[in-house]
Structure 1
């Protein structure tokens, strides 16, 4: 495909698909050109460099997060919806987190998200630096939870690529981890107690619990301030 028929939007969408499938390591102009049926030089004409393409792709995925109407829902409902949207987006695009550690990722997509999120916490009653701190507290919690789930998925995918029985490998690794934990008294007692309890909560249940706790805490923080 000649460069005149390519568009930056088309290139970025294809780059996101490639990143979703192959991760950052699999992103190359040659691979991208193959998917677009175009020469790599034509791709460079539109996005200049691989680093620039990664920044554009990262910014594009932020647009997937829906922005709730603050005139129709409470600030806590809006904050919860945006946090869950962020969680789901990172799981769809697990390459975004490692990209954050190597690139400055900021553009219109991220700014659109941040602008609305700031409005959410300002609607709650936070102002100035406090509004920013409230945003960061929730963001860090969501990022940590998403990273844990995405890391496990990547770990299982690596096991599949190495061949053999994935379930058997997971079982062997968990047995070794349990054996190590049993050497420590508090972990040993905790693990023994968990065997009699219900199954571990699903990731979305853990996310719900944490969000309720944090947002209730932020609400309580607001209540301690002079009017």
Structure 2
């Protein structure tokens, strides 16, 4: 039996009451709680307490927590800025998208847990998707390749940032002493002297710098590779 698909975006929205809570207030409170306490700690009860409102006021707008999270996910997509593709070269559009997506995930790490878990069918999601679609079409992609190319960049950013989020969740803002790490590695890497020498010589001392370098290098490789995949074109050098 196929799973019955449902989404907040395909049900008739409730008309706002003349007084009382507005939906945007509920979404904003949910985002604040998610930023402060994380996805696992979010509850309708906490949102009601934050807004000094009863359950009836909340459930007038959202039937359950999953519906609220769909609204919140679309709010997340609204934070990811993408230039208008008719006003900038495609590399500028995709680079801006990738870096803004990365920054938004780092600022709101709960977003990574919602992407793929819930439908992205809201107005912000569709607006972003359409801008990316038009960017890839301007590059020369057609048909399903347009969306495969878009998914490649999206997956790259998620793949890089998700381990960063996991690290931050475990260690917070704690600074890891590089010399301590080197000492630990030396105790287990005796069979790999060249690997250890590389680590001593070329690994950045600043974790944020290392992550920025890695992200930039990988993104350039992705964009170069996509440029080579455009049918009937030769990349300019």
Considering the TM-score relative to the shorter chain, is it more than 0.5?
Answer: yes
Q: Which residue of 2 aligns with 1:209?
A: 217
Q: For residues 193 and 213 of structure 1, what CA distance do their matches in structure 2 show?
A: 22
The 1:180–1:104 alpha-carbon spacing in structure 2 relative to 1, beyond 3 Å, is farther
**Would you say the 8 A contact 2:140–2:231 is kept in 1?**
no
Q: For residues 101 and 199 of structure 1, what CA distance do their matches in structure 2 show?
A: 33
Q: Which residue of 2 aligns with 1:145?
A: 160
Query: How much has 1:180 moved relative to structure 2?
Result: 7.7
What is the DSSP-based 3-state SS (H/G/I as helix, E as strand, rest coil) of the residue aligned with 2:141?
coil
Q: For residues 215 and 3 of structure 1, what CA distance do their matches in structure 2 show?
A: 50
In structure 1, list runs of 5 or more residues that go unmatched: 161-165
Which of 137, 148, 153 lines up with 1:133 in the alignment? 148
Query: How much has 1:195 moved relative to structure 2?
Result: 0.1
Which structure 2 residues correspond to residues 14-25 of structure 1 after superposition, within 5 A? 14-25=29-40
Write out the 4+ residue segments of structure 1 that deviate beyond 4 Å after TM superposition: 170-177, 223-226
RMSD, matched Cα: 2.8
Which of 187, 190, 194 lines up with 2:195 in the alignment? 190
CA deviation digits over 1:95-127, x for unaligned, max 9?
Answer: 111223543343221111111101111111111
TM-score normalised by length of structure 1:
0.83
The 1:33–1:62 alpha-carbon spacing in structure 2 relative to 1, beyond 3 Å, is same
Which structure 2 residues correspond to residues 46-195 of structure 1 after superposition, within 5 A? 46-100=61-115, 102-157=117-172, 174=181, 178=185, 182=189, 185=191, 189-195=194-200
TM-score normalised by length of structure 2:
0.80
The count of corresponding residues between Structure 1 and Structure 2 is 215
In structure 2, list runs of 5 or more residues that go unmatched: 1-16
Query: How much has 1:223 moved relative to structure 2?
Result: 6.2
The 1:179–1:198 alpha-carbon spacing in structure 2 relative to 1, beyond 3 Å, is closer
